[in-house]
Amino acid sequence: MTDKGYRLYGYRWVVLAVFMFINLTIQILWICYAPITKPAAAFYHVSDTQIGLFSIIWFVAFIPLSFPVSWAIDTFGFHRAVGVGAILMAVFGILRGFAGSYSLVLWCTVGLGLAQPFLLNAWTKVPAQWFGLEERATAVGLITLSNLLGVAIGEALPPILLQGGTPIQTQQLIFGSVAAFSSLLFLILAREKPATPPCPPGHDARALMLDGLKNALVLKDFWFLLVVAFAGLGIFNGVTTWVEDIISPRGFSPTDAGTFGALLVIGGIVGAVALPPFSDKQRKRQIYLLVGLLLAIPGLIGIIYATNYWLLMVSGFWLGFFLIGTGPIAYQYAAEITIPTPEGTSNGLMQLIGQVSVVYVFIMVVLKSANGAFTSSLWLAVALVIISSILLTQMKDPEFVES
């Protein structure tokens, strides 16, 4: 313990690791049908759009649950609240592996969708309980890394397993079993908070949820940040949900779609590891978010027009690095500019707006051309990025309390 009455415990990395693991496995369960949309449609004797519901339904389930789950995290603690989500994930993940019909798989997916907000809305709560201010964006970055790694595995592995002869239902049982194992580790090893605070007074004080909610929603910068989050998460969710349909009109295969989706996420992982430490060190948020959005535009344009395999893959990686890699900074920025709003509340609002971005996922289908191209909706994505960049120029960095 320091003479100021606070210290950092080594066990924080164990808590972070098991939290990262369950975030990884739930993302696999979310996206694993997207890269094999057409084979899955044939397997269950349904349309491509009905397979797309396996991803979209998670967004729909998240919206009504976000505020109650944020309240539960801030009231009962992240260990209990996230534990509920972990149990739901384990049960419905395994059940989906045994479900043989489309309707049963859909209902199990609803159960998994109910689990997701318990995990996502605690992203900034765990670092706030265990990490000092100078490590928090980095910790959120590592959580984002695990989340994105789960998406990468869920994008890349199903086509490979299918090509190797592993049936779709067996794949789901494998993914569900790994998710159940991650849930067990979290329940056993995670702890609510250390014996003493990890930060000086002023960094850990939080209001009650309703007071904190009122505080956050009167801040202009927070509203601007919600628009930025809508754009960034909407684009990411849209591209990952319709990845195969976006590139197949240009002659790319389901395996290519899996590789592209994986590289998009790997780019985000690299960015989430590389960028937040610099932001933490300089205690700057706004400039990293602005530059990240502007540099994401070339990646989007490459995805719209690339017919060369390598150009498409590089565009996916580039977009992921700058659009998704700055995400951890945005979540930590939200926690800092809304103090004394509880972390579960500010993070929950950010995650909620990300789920509301399912509107953009549906718009992509509406704007789909007769030949199946997504050109119009992807140019709409470019416009959303430009609007978000303009809003970011009007935002300021939070004022930090010196430790």
Q: Where are the domains of the chain?
A: 12-392
Tell me 320's DSSP state: I
Q: Which of 72, 342, 346, 398 is nearest to 206 (CA)?
A: 342
Q: Say what the pLDDT of residue 210 is.
A: 57
Q: Which fold has domain 12-392?
A: Growth Hormone; Chain: A; (1.20.1250)
DSSP states of 182-243 as a string? HHHHHHHH--S--SS-SS-TTSS----HHHHHHHHHT-HHHHHHHHHHHHHHHHHHHHHHTH
CB 259 within 8 A of CB 314: no
Contact in structure between 168 and 43 (CB atoms under 8 Å): yes
**Measured distance CA(198)–CA(128) in Å, rounded:** 8
165: left (phi over 0), alpha (psi -120 to 50) or beta: left
Positions of the chain with pLDDT lower than 70, given as ranges: 1-6, 198-213, 215, 342-344, 399-403
Instruction: Name residue, tokens 């019909």.
Output: 101
Give the ranges where 121-207 is alpha helix by DSSP (H).
125-130, 133-163, 168-189
Residues contacting 196, CB < 8 A, separation 6+: 1, 5, 6, 7
CB atoms within 10 A of CB 224: 17
119: number of Cβ within 10 Å: 27
**CA–CA dist 87, 241 (Å, integer):** 25
* Residue 94: predicted pLDDT: 96
User: Distance between CA atoms of 49 and 37, rounded to whole angstroms?
Assistant: 9
Q: In angstroms, rounded to a whole number, what is the distance separating the alpha carbons of residues 124 and 368?
A: 36
Q: End-to-end CA distance of the chain, in Å? A: 15
Chain segment 215-231, per-residue pLDDT in tens: 677 788 888 988 898 99
